[in-house]
Structure 1
Amino acid sequence: MTLPRPDRLADLLSWIEDNLDQPLTLDAIADRMALSPYHFSRLFTARMGRSVMAYVRGRRLVKAARRLTSEPEARLIDLAFDCGFDSQEAFTRAFGRLFGVSPGRFRQGYSATPFEGQYPMSLPESADVDVIRLPDLVSLDAFTVAGPSRRFDGATKATIPQLWPALIGALPFAGQEPSWATYGVVWAADRSEGSFDYMAGVRVAPDATPPAGFTTLRIPAATYAVFRITLNGGPLHPQVKAAMDRIWGELMPASGLRVADSPDFELYDSEFAPTRPGAVIDFHVPVVA
């Protein structure tokens, strides 16, 4: 069997986008690619990282989110049926998983663009990313962060982006410092297992009580080597992965520095826009000064 070229799949994604209001089925979509549902499902999942019907549901939710902001009178039950859900409750649960907030709160003013790693509109792009080590070490005083966190390993780390909507949907909250900078913090790494804790967080006062389900972490004073990742405007997650592979596999060993036993973190400034070419992430690695 000759697999369709990537441009055919790109054309299919455009066709799906134009037909989200139609009763799309796996059989109908596979037929458009002249493949059996079985072979098409394997192809689509391998290329896009999710099943075709999960992709369709996600795109319908994004369209519903745009209607929430552009059509103030739109009823949730109508949006639910348009998205293919049997009930408003099921629609609300799925919407919350994707955007991190309920449809009602989303209507009050949120962007209708899901975070990268969920339901992208286009094919994944190559992770051509620029990363350098800044010349000076940086010393920071201790500070506290709070946000949703989970334990990840090699099999689950691709789901890290799912933490970010849960964080953004809760901002601002009592005790948060007056800054919209965010932190992707890694700690308690077990290199033998390849597991670690990761938090999507913001700075908070040491005595802050964060929203239910959030973790609070005190990051001790430390000296850091800072690696600046400059993005190309494509999908965020593959670029960060490629940058981390280069930092830990090449730049950090070449630095001659020794890693300290303390959390490392990605710092996203308050103006960070993941799809803007030239946006930067400063990755802080604690080192023995």
Structure 2
Amino acid sequence: MNIQPVHIVREIILWIEQHLDDELTLDLIAARAGYSPYHFSRMFLAHTRRTVMDYVRGRRLVRSARRLLAEPDLRLVELALDSGFDSQEAFTRAFKRMFGSTPARFRRGFTIEPLEGQYPMTALAKTTTNVTRLPDLVTRDGFIVAGPARRFGETDKSDIPQLWSRLLNTVPIPGQRGGAMSYGVVSDIDRDKGTLNYLAGVEIGPDTALPEGFERRVIAPATYLVFRITFDGGPVHLQIAAALEEVWGTLIPTSGVKLARGPDFECYDGTKPVNLAGSTVDYYVPVEV
């Protein structure tokens, strides 16, 4: 009986996790899977959206980040050597490329959970997810959202969880509104260049003093088409990406509504962690009425 490629990749992911302290190479991992390096590289990339060695480096760095948060007295040079780097400088460069922060700053103000999904240990990339259009249009008053923000392109959109990590370690802030509700706001889309601004934030009052590194977005009153995404417990950012492909590729073109100018946004109600099966997020797209 032939084993499906998805099952082969899943088994290799589990094997990699058990051998992160070993000297892993593409040739060694491909041989373990029973394929040539070329064939297995293409298979692995198709199912995880990562190259094999990028995945290995990512899992090692995720583990290092967990140790940073769990072991406050751990010296960075010791962690660098334990993580397979020749020097603290090389480790710091790799860590900053992945997390957008030096290890020392990460230790002071980040959380690992939103970043874990970029290099999931057991789950594979999703190509579909559970997304439905809510039956009624929703009209909302204007509000203000504040949080860390950055411009992203096609090559680095997977880094968006870095903003959520920063946000979750800063809130609640004085002047915050809406309880545990949070927003992922998309604005200033340049479709020709494939870039957008993304802000992970919370609602605030007009006179709220912002923490360092936070930006403010004013969301004008608008009417929205709303889509509900239900998660299955796997990597959240991959499921959101798949859901948005369906929303923009199928659900909006067949909705019969005319889109309006203005930011669209994800709205998390904070009642259930999004990494648990059955949790949801509502995605708001402004429309003309």
The bucket for the TM-score relative to the shorter chain is 0.7 to 0.9
Task: Tell me the residue number matched to 1:113.
Answer: 113
Q: Find the aligned partners of 1:115 and 1:278 in 2 and give their Cα distance.
A: 20
- Determine the structure 2 residue equivalent to 1:82: 82
Q: CA deviation at 1:41?
A: 3.7
Which stretch has the larger CA shift, 168-177 or 278-287? 168-177
Query: What secondary structure does 1:283 align onto?
Result: strand
Q: Which amino acid aligns with 1:23?
A: E
Alignment check: 8 A CA contact 1:144 1:219 kept: yes
Deviations 1:164-219 (A, max 9, x none): 33433444455544633221112223456554332222223334453454432111
The residue aligned with 1:251 is: 251
Q: Quick check: 1:116–1:236 contact (8 Å CA) kept in 2?
A: no
CA drift of 1:281 comes to 0.6
- After TM superposition, give the deviation of residue 231 of structure 1 in Å: 1.6
1:279: Cα distance to partner? 0.7
Report if the CA contact (8 A) 1:145-1:204 is conserved. yes
Paired letter, 1:142: G
Query: What is the Cα deviation at residue 92 of structure 1?
Result: 4.3
Compared with structure 1, are the counterparts of its residues 94 and 114 closer, same or farther at alpha carbon in structure 2 (3 Å cutoff)?
farther
Question: Matches of residues 210-289 of structure 1 in structure 2 within 5 Å?
Answer: 210-289=210-289
Consecutive unaligned residues in structure 1, runs of 5 or more: none
**How many Å apart are 1:254 and its aligned residue?**
4.2
2-side partners of 1:89 and 1:154: how far apart?
28
Distance 1:213 1:107 in 2: 16
In the aligned structure 2, how far is the partner of 1:90 from the partner of 1:145?
37
Task: Name the residue aligned to 2:33.
Answer: 33
Q: Distance in 2 between matches of 1:97 and 1:171?
A: 25
In structure 2, the residue corresponding to 1:115 is in which secondary structure? helix
| SS across alignment from 1:184 | strand
1:155/1:57 CA distance change after superposition, 3 Å: closer
Cα distance change on mapping 1:219 and 1:159 into 2, 3 Å = same
> If the length of structure 2 is used for normalisation, what is the TM-score?
0.80
CA contact (8 A) 1:175 1:210 kept: no
After TM superposition, the structure 1 stretch with the greater mean CA deviation from structure 2, 234-243 or 167-176, is 167-176
TM-score by length of 1: 0.80
1:120-171 Cα shifts (integer Å, max 9, x gaps):
1124244443323323333222211223333445555455444333433444
Q: 1:288 to 1:116 in 2, by over 3 A?
A: farther
> Is the Cα–Cα contact under 8 Å of residues 228 and 280 in structure 1 kept in the other structure?
yes
- Asked if the contact 2:109/2:170 (under 8 Å) is kept, the reply is no
How far apart are the structure 1 equivalents of 2:97 and 2:155?
20
Asked if 1:140 corresponds to 2:140, the answer is: yes
Q: Which runs of 5+ in 2 are unaligned?
A: none
CA contact (8 A) 2:111 2:168 kept: no
**RMSD between superposed Cα atoms in Å:** 3.4
- Counting matched residue pairs gives 288
Give the distance between the partners of 1:194 and 1:66, measured in 2 at CA.
32
The more displaced of 114-123 and 78-87 is 114-123
Could you tell me how far apart the structure 1 residues matched to 2:261 and 2:71 are? Answer: 51
